[in-house]
Chain A
Amino acid sequence: MIQYFIRRILLMIPTFLGSTLLIFVILQLTPGGPLEQTIQRLQMGNMSGGEISGATGDMMTGGSSILPESALKELNRFYGFDKPIWQRYLIWLGVWPREIRHRDLTFEPGETTLNKYVGYGTYLNLERRENDLMITDESGAVPSDWKGRIDKIKDDGTVEAVIYQTEFSGILTGNLGTSYTYAQPVTEVMAPRFKISIFYGLSGLILMYLICIPLGIKKALNHGTPFDFVSSVIVFVGYSIPGWALGGVLLVLFGGGSFWDIFPLGGFRSPMEIWETLSWWQKILDQLHHAILPIIAWTIGSFATMTTLMKNSLLENLSQDYIRTAFAKGLSEKRVVWVHAMRNSLIPIAARIGQNIGVIISGSYFIERVFNIDGFGKMGYQAILDRDYPITLGFLVIVVLIRLIGNILSDLALATVDPRIRFK
C-alpha cells in the first residue's frame, strides 16, 4: 500500500511536467503577450486608458519603429523572450540557469578591451576575441559568477556585448516569478488570496458533506415518500442552477438592491477601517455576515451530485444479497443499514473527494466575481485580463498540483473505506 502511494506520487511528476509544459506552450505561443502589451502601453502613453486587450501580433512591427531598439531589447530580456521556448520552460521550471543582473557593454570599432564596474565594489576586465568574450577580474582570475556573450556586431564595427550572472530559480525552487501588475513576487500575491479561497472552499466542502450524506441516506431510506419527492425538487434545483448563479439570485434578494437588505453586497470582510475597530466577537460576526451567501453558493456546487450519489449508492447496496443475508441472520434494521450497507455506500462518496477539491478552486472564479471577493480565483481571472503571465502560470500550477494531490487523496480515502482495495 505504501509502495503504491509512493509510486502514485512519483507518477505525479511526469503528469505535472506534461501539464505545465502544455500550459506554458499555450501561453507563450499566443499573440498579444505581455511584451506586446507593454509596448502598446508605452506607445499609447496616456492617449487612451481604454481597450488594451485587443493587442494582436501586428502591433509588434508598429511598436519597434517608435520604441528605441535598446528599450525593446530591455523588455525582451525582462520577459525572457530572447530565449527559445524550451529554454524558457526549463528556466521557468528552475533547472536551467536564469540570467540576472545584465550589464550592457559596447566595444567601439577596433576596441578589444573594456573595464567595467559591475557593482559590489567589483571591476571586471573584458576582452573581446572575435566572437568570444573573456572575463577576468582585477587579479586576472576568471570570475565564477559572471558570464558574458557578444550580442551583435554592427556594420560599423561597434560590438554590443552583455555580461550577466546566473541562478537557478523557478517553480521547483518556489520562485514563481514577479507579477507584472502587482510588481510583487507571485507567491506573495497569492498567499493571502489563497487563504481566503481555502476558507470559503473548505467551509463549503465540509458543509456540503454534512448536508449531502445525511440527506442522501434519509432519501434512500424513505425512497418514494413525500419527503423523497420534496427533497428531490431541491436536488433538481441544484442540478439546474450553478452555485454562482444562485449566489447572484441570493445577492439580488438579500443584498439590499430591490428587496431585503440583510447581507452585505460582497467582499471578504468589512473595510479595514471598520474591521480594526471591532472587538473579537464582532469580528467573528462580521466575518460570518459576509460569508453566509458565498458559502451557500459554494455548497450548492456539488450538492446535487453528491446527494444523488449517496442516495443511489445506498439504495443499490440495500438491494444486494448480503443485506438480505444480514436481515436473515436476524440483525436489526439499524445495524444492517448503518453498519453493513453504509460502509459500502460510502465508497463512491469517498472516491469523489479529490474531484470536489478541484471543484472548490475551479468554481471560485465565478463565485468570487459575483461576490467581489478578492480571492484566488478572481486573481487568476484578473491575471488573464491583464495578461499577467507569471500569475496566470502560477495559478495554473497551483490548480494542477491541487488536482493531482486531490486524486491521491481520493485513492487514500477509497483505501480507508474499502478494505477490498489492494492497489497493485
Chain B
Amino acid sequence: MKWPKFFKKHIDDSEEISLSIYRKRWQKFKTMKRGYYSFVILIILYIISFFLPFLINNRALVVKYEDQLYFPVIQGYIEGTTFGQDVPGETNYRLLKQTWEESDSPNWLILPPYPYSPYEDITVEGNKMFDPPNSEHWLGTDNTGRDVFARLCYAFNISISFALVLTVLNYIIGILIGGSMGYFGGKFDLFFQRIIEIWSSMPILYVIIILVSIMKPSFLLLIGIYTIVNWISMTYLMRAEFYREKAKDYVAAALSMGQSDFKVMFKHILPNSLVPVITFFPFAVVMGILALVGLDYLGFGMPPPTPSWGQMLDVGLSNITKWWMVFAPVTAQFLTLLCIVFIGEGVREAFDPKVYSRLR
C-alpha cells in the first residue's frame, strides 16, 4: 500500500527522531554492501589473525606422550628427546606425528590446521629453498625455506596492527595540535603553520629511511619515527575543522556559560568535527600499510625475521623466476587494501549528505 507523502512522514517520524546521527550513518553504511561486507570480513580476519599461533604453527596443539599431556603451542620450546625423538634441538612435530602414526603408537598429537611456522627455515629437516607452491606449502617457500603462506598470514596481522596504531597516534597528535591551532589561533597557530610548511616540503619517506638506517628498527620505534614525520596531514585537517567550528554560535554559547577551553574543545567542538576524522580513517590505514610494505621492501622496515609483505616482495623481485614470492604478497596486500578502500568508500558515502543529482 502506498501512503501519501504526508502520512508517510508522520509514520516514519517516530522512528527517525530516536536515531542519533551516527546510528543513521551506521545504517546507511550497512546498505553499502561492498563496504559493509568488506568491513565484516576484515574485522573477522583481523580477530582471527590474533589466534594464528593456534592455526598456523609448527608446534603441536596437544601432545599425549606416555600418559602425559603437553601443550607445545603454549609451553613453547620442548626438546625432541622429551618425546623420544632423535633430533637435535626442538621436536619436529610433523615428523613425530608421522612416526607415531606409522608405528601404531598409543601416543598421539594434534597439529594446527596448517603445520608450518613463519620462522621455521632450512635448518629444519625436510624444508627446501624456493619450493614452488604445492599441497604441503600452499604458496611455496622463500629463500631460506620458510613457508610463504604462514608468513603471509602473520604479516597480515602485523601490517594492520602497524597501520592502526600509527593512524590512532597520528589522530591523537593531529587532534591535539591541530585543534589547538584552530581554536587558539594567534602565535601558536602561526608557529605551527611554519613548522607544517617546512615538514610538508620534505620527502617524508626519505627522512624515515634516513632515521631508520641510523637506529635499529623495531615495531614501536618504526611507529614512533613514522608518527614524528607523518602527523601533518591530520593536524592540518583538524586545524581547519576547529577553525570553522570555533566561529559558530554554540561555541560562543558554551563559552558564555563559563565552560573551560578544554571542555569547549573536546566536549563541544570535537564531536562536531569528527566527520573528516572518520571518513579519512580508512585511507590513513591504507597509507600506513603501504608505507610499511614500502619500507620493508627497501629493507628499512621491521627487523628480520619479522614476516612482512615488503620483505617477501624484495626476495621475489631479486629472484625473478620465483613468481610466487611476488604474486603472493602483492595479492594479499591488494585484497587487504581493496577491502579497506571499499570500507572507506562506504564510510564516505554514509557520512556525505551530498547526493549527486544529474540533469538528463
Contact = CB atoms under 8 A, between A and B. Distances in A.
B6 interface: no
B294 interface: yes
A310 B342 CA distance: 19
B358 A385 contact: no
Given A248-B326, A319-B358, A400-B201, A242 B294 contact: yes
Interface stretch (B24-32, B121-129, B203-211, B262-270): B203-211
B359 A366 contact: no
Interface residues of A, number: 60
Contacts of B321: 257-258
B356 interface: yes
B198 A18 contact: yes
A71 interface: no
A358 B337 CA distance: 23
Given A257-B321, A259-B323, A380-B206, A315 B330 contact: no
B286 interface: yes
B357 A15 contact: no
B320 interface: yes
Nearest to B329: A245
Contact of B197 (A15, A26, A236): A15
Q: For chain B, what secondary structure do more than half of its interface residues adopt (helix, strand, loop), or is it mixed?
A: helix
Contacts, number: 144
A248 B323 CA distance: 10
A362 B198 contact: no
A257 B210 contact: no
A403 B207 CA distance: 15
A161 interface: no
Contacts of A358: 203
A388 B327 CA distance: 34
Contacts of A399: 202-203, 206
Given A23-B207, A245-B313, A366-B297, A239 B359 contact: no
Given A249-B330, A323-B359, A366-B298, A239 B337 contact: yes
Interface residues of B, number: 46
Nearest to A358: B203
A387 to B, nearest CB: 8
Q: Which of B326, B327, B336 is most buried by chain A, counting CB atoms within 10 A of its CB?
A: B326
A27 interface: yes
Interface string B330-356: 100111111001100000000000101
Contacts of B209: 381, 384
Given A258-B323, A362-B205, A240 B334 contact: yes
A395 B206 contact: yes
Q: For chain A, what secondary structure do more than half of its interface residues adopt (helix, strand, loop), or is it mixed?
A: helix
A158 interface: no
B144 interface: no
A27 B204 CA distance: 14
A362 B206 contact: yes
Nearest to A256: B320
A15 B210 contact: no
Contacts of B207: 23, 26
A299 B333 CA distance: 20
B198 A19 contact: yes
A315 B334 contact: no
A361 B210 contact: no
B11 interface: no
A252 B327 contact: yes
A316 interface: yes
Interface string A225-251: 000000000001101111011101101
B187 interface: no
B317 interface: yes
A53 interface: yes
A248 B331 CA distance: 12
A239 B286 CA distance: 9
B354 A365 contact: no
B194 interface: yes
B286 to A, nearest CB: 7
A348 to B, nearest CB: 15
Return the 6 tightest CB-CB contacts between A and B, nearest first. A240-B337, A257-B320, A18-B198, A30-B214, A257-B321, A240-B338
12 contacts: A15-B194, A31-B214, A236-B342, A242-B290, A242-B294, A245-B293, A248-B313, A248-B317, A252-B317, A256-B320, A257-B323, A366-B294
Interface of A: 14-16, 18-19, 22-23, 26-27, 30-32, 53, 223, 236-237, 239-242, 244-246, 248-249, 251-252, 255-259, 265, 315-316, 318-319, 323-324, 327, 333, 358, 361-362, 365-366, 369-370, 380-381, 384-385, 392, 395-396, 399-400, 403-404, 407
